Amino acid sequence: MTTETPNTVTELATRARLAATVLANAHRDIKDAALHAMADALDSRTGEILDANAADVDAARAAGTPEAIIDRLALSAARVATIAQSLRDTARLADPVGDVVRGSTLANGLEVRQIRVPFGVIGMIYEARPNVTVDAAGLCLKSGNAVLLRGSSSAFRSNSAIVAALREAVDKTGLPADAIQLVDASTRDTVRELMTARGLVDVLIPRGGGDLIRSVVDGSTVPVIETGVGNCHVYVDAGADLEMALEILLNAKTSRPSVCNAAESLLVHASIAPAFLALALPALDTAGVTVHGSPDVVSAGAAVGVTVPAATDDDFGREYLSLDLSARVVESVDEAVDHIRRYGTGHSETIVTRSLERAREFTAAVDAAVVLVNASSRFVDGGEFGYGAEIGISTQKLHARGPMGLAELTSTKYVVIGTGQTR
């Protein structure tokens, strides 16, 4: 903890812009060397980082923070090692900067190339987990961007220790330390300042709960990439393979209920509902899942001795992030699509079907970042898709949609080379 007056966001952003001009043209060699130095610094300063984290955890516990949140905040030597390794993995990824997206020679001889360039300065606003600090710093540096990190106040000691280690490593490599800067988390003012730093900050990426994301989207004059809220549905179609449907549903719901790509709602075609619910409701019950059902699902539960509370409209609109699942019987793919249009958040939507026609219908009609056929939505992840680490999953349509890797952290620039052409 420093005793100096915290810098204003404007001061930090101005320094970040200067750093960004250096980073934008840094070769891959030096960026990768910086990533390795950052990883090594986390390893060698693990003790210091764990001490800072223990202080954060103690303070959070004293403040009565729920253990589920403490769990996301707490670091261990093993977790720090894993986080450090993720920086080395990022170093191995291809550099997106300079990629030619498209290019041609025009009839008049002009050579036109559209190439990937960094955004410049990226602002991250996020909650709790200190690993986001490292992931964001690594991905932004690799993609040639400077980053302003506005984590939560509860993780400020941990984030300060981590960022101090990362900055020292970047500096040693010969890149500007101001490529990575931590924003004061003791006041909400810094969030507001980031949101209105248009011209200084090129893009804001909020990561966290729905309320955080909503407030950033609504209040920001800086362009925002919206991430993460996932009210994800599994639709079990008429004639689906019941065993496959059950496995996908259980995996999507229970393998990690707290993440955005977990299933939150089940839709079952009426023709298959009795058979599927007789199988699924006891299995979900055994897995500890509470199903909140429409009247026919409540009845199906009664028939197999499973208590199913009645679902309210609010249930269908909720991202539980817990072992709860809303469930409804529908008469057709159309009705499933309509339900998803009404309640979905445009994240990841799944159909389990044997019908090619209905698979096509569902994938064409559902408006979401990812539409899956016969697969668990838990695969919706930058790592799983082969993009290396991800900075978030975009649920907006502008710029990036779905898991965001390094390419999504870049803009483009046209370079046109001529020999004196005029028009």
What are the residues binding a second copy (CB under 8 A)? 21, 24-25, 104, 106, 108, 110, 112, 114, 117, 119-120, 198, 202-203, 217-218, 221, 223, 225, 241, 244, 247-248, 250-252, 255, 359, 363-365, 367-376, 378-380, 384-386, 396-399, 401-402, 411-423
Query: Of the candidates 343, 325, 353, which has an alpha carbon nearest to the alpha carbon of residue 257?
Result: 325
Nearby residues of 96 by Cβ (< 8 Å), 6 or more positions away: 116, 143, 406, 407, 409, 410
Q: Quick one: 355 or 396, whose CB is closer to a second copy?
A: 396
- Minimum distance between the CB of residue 384 and a second copy, rounded to whole angstroms? 7
- Minimum distance between the CB of residue 403 and a second copy, rounded to whole angstroms? 8
How far apart are alpha carbons 240 and 255 in whole angstroms? 22
- Minimum distance between the CB of residue 316 and a second copy, rounded to whole angstroms? 17
Q: Quick one: 180 or 263, whose CB is closer to a second copy?
A: 263
- Minimum distance between the CB of residue 195 and a second copy, rounded to whole angstroms? 12
- Minimum distance between the CB of residue 88 and a second copy, rounded to whole angstroms? 21
Q: What is the DSSP string of 11-42?
A: HHHHHHHHHHHHHHT--HHHHHHHHHHHHHHH
Q: How many CB atoms lie within 10 A of CB 412?
A: 13
- Minimum distance between the CB of residue 225 and a second copy, rounded to whole angstroms? 8
- Minimum distance between the CB of residue 363 and a second copy, rounded to whole angstroms? 5
Q: Quick one: 76 or 421, whose CB is closer to a second copy?
A: 421
- Minimum distance between the CB of residue 147 and a second copy, rounded to whole angstroms? 15
Q: Quick one: 238 or 373, whose CB is closer to a second copy?
A: 373
CB 26 within 8 A of CB 98: no
CB 154 within 8 A of CB 60: yes
Q: Quick one: 120 or 301, whose CB is closer to a second copy?
A: 120
How far apart are alpha carbons 38 and 171 in whole angstroms? 10
Q: What is the DSSP string of 136-164?
A: HHHHHHHTT-EEEEE--GGGHHHHHHHHH
- Minimum distance between the CB of residue 374 and a second copy, rounded to whole angstroms? 5
How far apart are alpha carbons 122 and 194 in whole angstroms? 10
How far apart are alpha carbons 315 and 361 in whole angstroms? 26
User: Token digits for 124?
Assistant: 């991250």
Q: Quick one: 299 or 374, whose CB is closer to a second copy?
A: 374
Q: Quick one: 53 or 251, whose CB is closer to a second copy?
A: 251
Q: Quick one: 392 or 402, whose CB is closer to a second copy?
A: 402
How far apart are alpha carbons 83 and 95 in whole angstroms? 20
Q: Quick one: 56 or 202, whose CB is closer to a second copy?
A: 202
Strand-pair partners of 177: none
Query: What amino acid is encoded at 153 in this protein?
Result: S
How far apart are alpha carbons 22 and 406 in whole angstroms? 18
How far apart are alpha carbons 161 and 52 in whole angstroms? 7
How far apart are alpha carbons 101 and 277 in whole angstroms? 48
